[in-house]
Amino acid sequence: MEFYKTHLHPWVITTEAWFIGFLIVELLVRWAISVVYKHHQRWFFFPFIHWYEILAIIPHLRFLRLFRAGIVAYRLYEMGYKIIPASWLQRGRFYYQVIMEELSDRVVITVIDGIKHELQTSSTHKKILHDLVDHHRSLFATTLAEILQETLATELKAQQPIMSQRVGEIVNQAIEDTPELTQLLRLIPIVGGRIESQIQSIGQRLGENITSGLIDPFIQGSDTAPNTNYQLIAQRVSELNIDNQHLEQLVESIVFESIEAIRKQVKIKQWQEILKQQDQAKE
C-alpha cells in the first residue's frame, strides 16, 4: 500500500491529467473543425450532441469513455471497417432491442392503465366518449354506406329474379283465391275463361315488375360511389344521439375492449418469439 501511495499513485494522477488534457484539446479541435465546416446548424450544438464526451473528461465519469469507444467502433463499422465481428454486432443489436422493448412496453402499459383508470373514475369520461363518437361520425357514415353497397346491394341484385318471381306467383295465387272474380268471369260466355287466364298472367307480370321497380333503386351504385339511398341511411344512423344508456354501454365496451386488446398485444414479448425462431432454426 505504501508503494502504491509513494510511487504508483502520483504516476496515475499525472497520466490521468495528461489524458484529460489530451481529451480537452481533441474536443476543442473537433469543435473548431465542426464550426469551420458547418457540420451542425449552430456552432454551439457540438457540446450538446457530444455530451457523453464532455462528461467523460470528469474522472468520476470516466466510464463514459467506453461508451465513446463503442460509438467510434460502430461508426467505423458503418464506414466499412469490419472491426466488430458480425456475431457480436448481431448479439448487441438483439440485446439492445430487448432492453428497448422492455422499457417501451413498461411505459406503454403504464400509460394504457392510466387511461383506463381515468376513463373509469373520471366524471368527464362520458364527455370524452361523446367527443370520440362525434369525431368519427362522418367516417362511420362513409363506412356504413360502403358496407351496405357491398353487402345489401349485391344480395338484392342476386335475389331480385327470385323475389320478383315469388311476388308474381303470390299475386297470381291471390287472383285465383278470389272467388268473386272467378264467378264474375264465368258469367261471360266463351271468353270468360280466357279473360281469367289473361288476368292471372297480367297480375303475375305486374307483381314481378313492381318488385323489380322497388328493388332497382337499391342495387345501383358502386363501391367508390355508393347508392344515394344507402348514403342517406348511413347519414341518419351516424346522427343518432348516444344519450342512451344502452348506446353508452356499447361505446364504453368497445373503448375498454380496444384498450385491453392493445394492452395484451403490447405484453407480447417479440424478443422471445425471435429466440424461439432461432432455436427452431438450429434444430
pLDDT for 26-56, tens place per residue?
899 999 999 998 888 888 898 888 888 888 8
- Measured CA to CA, the distance from residue 250 to residue 74 in angstroms comes to 53
Q: Is the pLDDT of residue 150 over 70?
A: yes
Taking residues 162-178, what's their average pLDDT? 80
Q: pLDDT tens digit string along 9-26?
A: 677 788 888 888 888 898
- Give the pLDDT band of residue 191 (cuts 50, 70, 90): low
CA distance 236 to 215: 21
Q: Locate 20 and state its grid cell.
A: 484529460
> Hey, which of 38-47, 80-89, 123-132 has the most confident mean pLDDT?
38-47
Quote the mean pLDDT of the chain.
81
Q: Which three cell numbers stand for residue 237?
A: 344512423
The pLDDT of residue 189 is 63
Q: Whole-model pTM?
A: 0.49
- Residue in this structure with the C-alpha cell 414479448, named with its chain if needed: 269
Cell of 49: 450532441
Residue 261 has pLDDT above 80, yes or no: yes
The pLDDT assigned to 32 comes to: 93
Q: What is the pLDDT of residue 192?
A: 57
Segment 157-163 mean pLDDT = 84
pLDDT at 186: 64
Distance from CA of residue 22 to its chain's centroid? 52
37-41, 101-105, 204-208: segment of lowest average pLDDT: 204-208
